[in-house]
Amino acid sequence: MKQVFTKVLLASGLVMGLTAGAAQAQNATTPDIKRGETLFTQGDVQRGILACVACHGQAGTSAIAMYPHLAGMPAGYIVSQLKNFQVAEGADRSARMNIDGSPTAMAPIVAKMTEQDMNDLAAYISKQKLSKPAFAQHAADIEFVHRGREIWRAGIPERHVPACASCHGAEGQGMPEQFPFLSGQHPEYILSQLHSFAEGARTHGGAENMMGTIANRMSNADMKAVADYAAGIR
């Protein structure tokens, strides 16, 4: 009887241990929106994590064209991009670099982040609303607008460039967790990222770096037209 009782205790202890372990694992990855807000607005100076608000603006609405709006981006997409700034194990560079091959300003910040930090930040960012979206800057130039719309809707068939809308949506709202929204994004930022893909500074653009291939087939004029058009889509 004593042996049976001992076995029951051991089994109960094992189940409780497994349950506690599972709960801890879940707690370790469950996003904490309030903590994400603190990281976004205040950073963590002791760990070298600067406040995101300094560049990306209040609640993720950026007032500076070289820094993207983040408000409302899907959480999974935010996490994947933060990881792209880190140097993966076995790699000698990250998947997102400056065009000259140097690390971006994000690199030293994200290098200090844990998986929990990223999940918390992403949870907070994804719940924000873009309060001041950017607009097309050349809406009065009919030919310019037409070219941008043409590339967005139909691509450039003769150069095997697919329609941007096929991944980023007819109204530029993107595809949750995979492709970012571009509607209301700064056109200057969109253009700079197309150049980064074309130059190989960004190597994570979909399967086999699809965006790198696409951007390489576009002229600078094409990039400018579609970047401006994308910003103005609603």
223 is in an annotated binding site: no
State the 10-residue block means of pLDDT for the chain, 234 residues long.
Answer: 40 39 52 98 96 98 98 97 95 96 96 97 98 97 98 98 97 92 98 98 91 98 98 96
167 annotated binding-site participant: yes
pLDDT digits (tens, 9 = 90+) for 167-186: 999 999 999 888 999 999 99
pLDDT for position 172: 97
The predicted structure's pLDDT at residue 207: 83
Residue 24: predicted pLDDT: 41
Is 97 annotated among the ligand-binding residues? no
CATH code at 33-126? 1.10.760.10
Task: Say whether 175 counts as a known binding-site residue.
Answer: no
CATH of domain 142-232: 1.10.760.10
What is the per-residue pLDDT for 28?
Answer: 53
Q: Enumerate the domain spans of the chain.
A: 33-126, 142-232
SS3 letters across 144-172: HHHHHHHHHHHCEHHHCECCCHHHHCCCC
Query: C-alpha dihedral over 46, 64, 179, 71, to 10 degrees?
Result: 70
Could you check whether 33-126 and 142-232 share the same CATH topology?
A: yes
Predicted confidence at residue 18, as pLDDT, reads 36
Q: Report which residue type is found at 136.
A: A
Torsion of CA 128, 108, 201, 208, to 10 degrees: -70
138 labelled binding-site residue: no
How far is it, in rounded angstroms, from Cα 186 to Cα 32?
Answer: 29
pLDDT of residue 15: 37
**Reported pTM:** 0.86
State the Cα–Cα distance between residues 212 and 192, nearest whole angstrom: 13
Annotated ligand binding at 73? The verdict is no
Distance between CA atoms of residues 227 and 148, nearest Å:
7
